[in-house]
Amino acid sequence: MFAVMQNLKFDPSNLLAKNIGRYGVVETDLAQYATLLENGHKVLLEARENGEKRIASMMEWLNLPYQREEVIDEIQNVAKSFRKFKNIVSIGIGGSYLGNRMLQDGLRSPYYNEFESLRNGCPRIFFNGKSLDPVSLNALLNNLDPKETGIVVISKSGGTTEPKVSFEILKWWLERRCGRDYWKHIIAVTDERQGILREWVKGMGKPIPTFPVPDGVGGRFSVLSPVGLITAAMANINIKELLAGAAAMEKMTQNLNLKDNPAYLYALLHTVLYQKRGINIAVMMPFADQLETFADWYVQLLAESLGKKYNKQGLVINTGRTPIPSVGPSDLHSTQQNNIEGEYNKAITFIRVEKPAIDLTIPHESNDYLADKQMSVVGDASQRGTEFALLSEGRPNCTISLPELTPYTLGQLIFFFEIATAMEGELLGVNTYDQPGVEGYKKNMFGRLGKAGFVANTFCGSIAPV
């Protein structure tokens, strides 16, 4: 059904010492990681084969490309029924926001919300609940008509403060203008059984469309679950093609052999650079405006999954590469100076889209070296030029190319990085699926706000003796 040529390509050559010199990876480095790689592969293999284990170890994301047809149809039907609204406010934070935003930006046109002609009858989609900034929520309250607005509230736990605040205010706003039937404007995505949001849906006693965040799927791995699919379907994105792309990548990453598994290769090369060459910063730099928020999604995936104090044995290791979101060519005029001449501590990942959805020709009248050239040719030269400039300075970089930006190729790209991150976690020896470090601010915030059981400024860290 989908042409083979649609596959993503990963070019690792500029991570290798034979091309970039002393900061590159050599064969013997790889050999030293053979056992760790094999053990990591076993963990992924076992999770693929054993459903119970997969859920218990929070690796059910591996199965999301193969969700039942009825689940997907139901998402599409509910999404379609909500297209009657002119506006949708999607409420969520972290994994309940970043993936939705990435799909929206990646697979619908830039300026989608601004121009009706770009929406083909689909609603405008606004994102809120990712901050506690009254100014942005107030802008929505004052400029949207509640009668023409639907709300998708997404929270796995149901109790996360930022989206909860936004949902409480938007609910009140809807109820005031729409009366008792305000619930007809709401879709909830949350844990199947528990949490404040699930309780609210039950308590309402109304047929509020509700989708589960599947058991064993953590927030940052949830984009291919109902969490990310519901708003994508509202914007008429082909979610079946998205999942088909992810499934294709799932199949491409089953093999332990590095030659046949681009995601393992990506993980291993970057782990070697991190642990043996001190390359501890991961710059994600797509060369496509539509993928700018893909970089933000990846930042959460890498930072929350691998930035860990303890390894699986409970030893303090304080590990994990630091991700930096970037976008080309825009950032060539800001961060590139540092990428090229700053510390030797960064690896840059470029994402290229070989054939943009549309191209424009620079007028002949411009009468200089740009005349008659396609914009994509100039963009390509800019990306290739950046790659070469980094190479000339011995700076590690690699390129992932998508033949086109479609639901199918984006599905591949998402799954590629999920597998790569899972493997990188195994190579580092950490629990990829928890995020204990996020709790500290919550405890302090709850104490300050007077939540029962919490005290302000509770000390929750551990300062090592001087």
Binding positions for ligand PA5, rule: CB under 6 A: 93-96, 155-157, 160, 163, 218-220, 304, 435
Give the active site residue among 86, 309, 373, 442: 442
Q: Taking each helix axis as running N to C, give the angle between helix 226-234 and helix 69-81, from 0 to 180 degrees, rounded to the nearest 10.
A: 40
At CB < 8 A and 24+ separation, what contacts does 210-216 make? 211/74, 211/75, 211/78, 211/187, 213/156, 213/189, 214/60, 214/64, 215/55, 215/60, 216/54, 216/55, 216/56, 216/57, 216/58, 216/59, 216/60, 216/61
| C-alpha–C-alpha distance, residues 429 and 204, integer Å | 45
Nearest-approach distance from CB 434 to ligand PA5, in angstroms = 9
Beta carbon nearer to ligand PA5, 139 or 438: 438
Give the active site residue among 304, 387, 424, 426: 304
CB 216 within 8 A of CB 85: no
In the residue annotation, 206 being an active-site residue is answered as no
Beta carbon nearer to ligand PA5, 156 or 346: 156
CB 250 within 8 A of CB 65: yes
Nearest-approach distance from CB 67 to ligand PA5, in angstroms = 19
Beta carbon nearer to ligand PA5, 154 or 348: 154
Compute the radius of gyration of the chain from its Cα atoms: 23
Nearest-approach distance from CB 349 to ligand PA5, in angstroms = 21
Nearest-approach distance from CB 442 to ligand PA5, in angstroms = 9
Give the active site residue among 84, 259, 333, 364: 333
Peptide bond into 329 cis (omega under 30): yes
Nearest-approach distance from CB 156 to ligand PA5, in angstroms = 4
Amino acid code (one letter) for 346: K
Residues 6+ apart with CB under 8 A from 253: 261, 262, 263, 264, 415, 416, 419
Nearest-approach distance from CB 94 to ligand PA5, in angstroms = 3
| C-alpha–C-alpha distance, residues 23 and 15, integer Å | 8
Amino acid code (one letter) for 407: P
The helix/strand/coil state of 134 is helix
| C-alpha–C-alpha distance, residues 145 and 150, integer Å | 10
| C-alpha–C-alpha distance, residues 187 and 94, integer Å | 19
Tokens matching residue 203: 């308590």
Beta carbon nearer to ligand PA5, 305 or 397: 305
Beta carbon nearer to ligand PA5, 220 or 443: 220
Nearest-approach distance from CB 131 to ligand PA5, in angstroms = 13
Nearest-approach distance from CB 296 to ligand PA5, in angstroms = 12
**Buried residues in 69-102 as b, exposed as e (16+ CB within 10 A):** eeebeebbebbeebbebbbbbbbbbbbbbbbbbb
**Residue 464 DSSP symbol:** P
Helices then strands, counting H and E runs in the chain, come out as: 17, 12
| C-alpha–C-alpha distance, residues 166 and 189, integer Å | 15
In the residue annotation, 270 being an active-site residue is answered as no
Active site residues: 304, 333, 442
